[in-house]
Amino acid sequence: MKKICVFGSLNIDMTLFVPHFNLPGETLTGTGMSIFTGGKGGNQAVACARLGAPVKMIGCLGDDANGAMYYEKLKEEGVDVSGLKVCRDITSGMAFIEVVPEGENRIALAVGANGLLTEEVARESAAAIAECGVYMTQLENPLEAIIEGMRIAHENGLTVVLDPAPARPLPDGIFALCDVVTPNETELNILTGMPTDTLEEAEAAARTLLARGAKMVLNKRGAAGVLLVTADACRLIPGFKVNAVDTTAAGDSFNAGLAVGLADGMDIEQAIRLANATGAISTTRLGAQPAMPTRAQAEALMAEQG
């Protein structure tokens, strides 16, 4: 299997389980609280490792206790940490998450050391990136660094997968560096300014990203599945039916399944099925990384639901 490089964010998630989302001025008592390792980059790296792929993480932690704990956690999970930087006099990134009983979440971020993943760090990592076959990135670090990392990956022939989360309008040039872009409905709307509620609307929006240079758009539509859009195809690949309790990191898990499938030589539809199964299982458990399945668990769900 080809090695996967994840370039991205590392957060400590402070997750509070609440009866409903907090209202302005309201003091709300939670029903439980947990501290998890998270961040979209770290989540993707851990999920890839659980699925059995060789994976290298490039990112920044602070020189605090959280950073030290996260570093050890990634090593335990089997992630190659040689591309991690521990930055001085700054806290590690943190995410403050509310989860309601229906499984939906709200997240507020304190960027911390994630803001120090710069273009220079990307350039210093060029040799490490070049030795991989699949490249995954997201939008929780400075945009110039994200683009520089993608440029290095693209020029070295890696398959580049951009998870445009958290979404923000992006410059055209970034899409020409993408083999696959994986927005959910909201992210696709933010990227394009177009409606994405129906499949027809989502296809039209996705086609504008193809026109801006992306080779393929995978619109993640939760339990409904994934709308795959390329220059000459548009298909809905159905998802799996599960009882969701916490959707935190479902998108990260999906992207990991996709990257592992591609690194393992699957065709795109097989890779999307592995991605759908990985994302679905992650919603049936609490937290981000504790929820991520092994390859055997993902394969069992695929076998069970055909």
CB of 157 to ligand RIB, least distance (A): 28
Stretch 111-150: interaction string toward ligand RIB, x if CB under 6 A: -----------------------------x----------
Q: What letter does residue 284 receive in the DSSP assignment?
A: T
Under rule CB under 6 A, residue 92 binds ligand RIB = no
Which of these segments, 37-45, 167-175, 190-198, 216-224, binds ligand RIB (CB under 6 A)? 37-45
Total length of the chain? 306
Size of the site for ligand RIB (CB under 6 A): 15
Measured distance CA(145)–CA(139) in Å, rounded: 10
Query: Is 266:274 a contact under the CB 8 Å cutoff?
Result: yes
The single residue listed with the structure tokens 């304190």 is 110
CB of 248 to ligand RIB, least distance (A): 5
* DSSP letter string, 184-251: BHHHHHHHHSS--SSHHHHHHHHHHHHHTT-S-EEEE-GGG-EEEEETTEEEEE-------S--TTHH
Annotate 9-73 with DSSP letters as a single string: --EEEEEEE-SSPPPTT-----SEEEEEEE-HHHHHHHHHHHTT--EEEEEEEESSHHHHHHHHH
Please choose, from the candidates 107, 116, 12, 9, the residue with its C-alpha nearest in 3D space to the C-alpha of residue 67. Answer: 12
From the candidates 179, 246, 252, 264, which is the catalytic residue? 252
Residues 122, 249, 275, 281: which binds ligand RIB (CB under 6 A)? 249
Q: Choose between 9 and 196: whose C-beta lies nearer to ligand RIB.
A: 9
Closest to 215 in 3D by CA, of 228, 202, 200: 228
- 163 contacts ligand RIB (rule: CB under 6 A): no
Report if residue 43 touches ligand RIB, rule: CB under 6 A.
yes
Site for ligand RIB contains 39 (CB under 6 A)? yes
Minimum separation from the CB atom of position 252 to ligand RIB (A):
5
Among 69, 100, 107, 234, binds ligand RIB (CB under 6 A): 107
Q: Which C-beta is closer to ligand RIB: that of 43 or that of 159?
A: 43
Residue 185 CB, shortest distance to ligand RIB, in Å, is 16
Task: Let me know if 246 is a catalytic residue.
Answer: no
Q: Among 51-59, 189-197, 214-222, 247-255, which window interacts with ligand RIB (CB under 6 A)?
A: 247-255
> Does residue 246 touch ligand RIB according to CB under 6 A?
no
Query: Judging by DSSP bridges, how do beta strands 226-230 and 233-237 pair with one another?
Result: antiparallel
Q: Name the closest residue to ligand RIB (Cβ).
A: 38
Going edge to edge, which strands form the sheet with 55-62?
84-87, 55-62, 4-7, 134-137, 159-162, 180-181, 217-220, 226-230, 233-237
Give the binding site for ligand RIB (CB under 6 A).
Answer: 9, 11, 13, 38-40, 43, 95, 107, 140, 248-249, 251-252, 288
Residues labelled as active-site residues: 252
